[in-house]
Amino acid sequence: MTIAAQNGSPAAEQLGLLDGTYDPPTSSFRAEDRAKVRVDNLFTQLIDLRDALLANDTSGITLAGERLEGSVDRLAQTRALVGGYAKRVEDGTKHLEDQTLLDESTRSNLRDLDFTEAAVRLNLLQTQFQAGLQTTAASFSRSLLDFLG
């Protein structure tokens, strides 16, 4: 396997493929990492702080400390966000458990139901509901003169 630049394109060189090695037994190609990307996170800031402390660089220590403080603030915000999500999940789980318990209780009551007693109770509740509606209708049909006279 060979890799060469074609048509004057610098892509192979920029990707680090020209200096790579091919391993036939594993069928893998290892190239040089040309992307000099430096991730700005808590660990790189700790490395910067360590390097500044070892070099006794006061301005480097100050800069690393400030960036480290920003990362600690972002970490605290993330912890608060995750805590909020955890609370919502906990509340949802509790609600689901309560709903399951209510469903099971209702199912149990339906299995143990005496249909004659239920029919009598339904009739009683309908009578109470009808009486409540008639009372409400009667109270709304009165005018102010009915109360004054």
Residue-wise pLDDT for 103-140, tens only, equals 999 888 888 888 888 899 999 999 999 999 999 888 77
Dihedral, CA of residue 25, residue 28, residue 32 and residue 33, to nearest 10: -140
pLDDT band of residue 19 (cuts 50, 70, 90) is confident
- Does residue 46 form part of some domain? yes
Give domain status of residue 131, yes or no.
no
Q: Is 132 inside a domain boundary? A: no
Share of the chain above pLDDT 70, in %: 97
State if pTM tops 0.75. no
Q: How many domains does the chain have?
A: 2
Domain check: are 53 and 90 in the same one? Answer: yes
Residue 42 binned pLDDT confidence (cut-offs 50, 70, 90): confident
Dist CA 132 CA 90 (whole Å): 41
Give yes or no: residues 31 and 87 share one domain: no
In SS3 terms, the chain reads as: CCCCCCCCCCHHHHHCCCCCEEECCCCEEECCCCCCCCCCCHHHHHHHHHHHHHHCCHHHHHHHHHHHHHHHHHHHHHHHHHHHHHHHHHHHHHHHHHHHHHHHHHHHHHHCCCHHHHHHHHHHHHHHHHHHHHHHHHHHHCCHHHHHC
Judgement on whether residues 46 and 27 belong to the same structural domain of the protein: no
State whether 65 and 99 are in the same domain: yes
Same domain, 50 and 100: yes
Is residue 92 located within the same domain as residue 79? yes
> Domain limits at 5?
1-37
Residue 146, in any domain of the structure: no
* 67 neighbors 51 (Cβ within 8 angstroms): no
Question: Is there a domain that residue 138 lies in?
Answer: no
Q: Which pLDDT score, from 0 to 100, does residue 85 have?
A: 97
**2 and 48 together in one domain:** no
Residues 64 and 103 in one domain: yes
Q: Cα 86 from chain centroid?
A: 8
- Examine residue 115 and state whether it is found in any structural domain, yes or no: no
pLDDT (mean) for 57-62: 92
Residues 46 and 29 in one domain: no
Is residue 46's pLDDT more than 80? yes
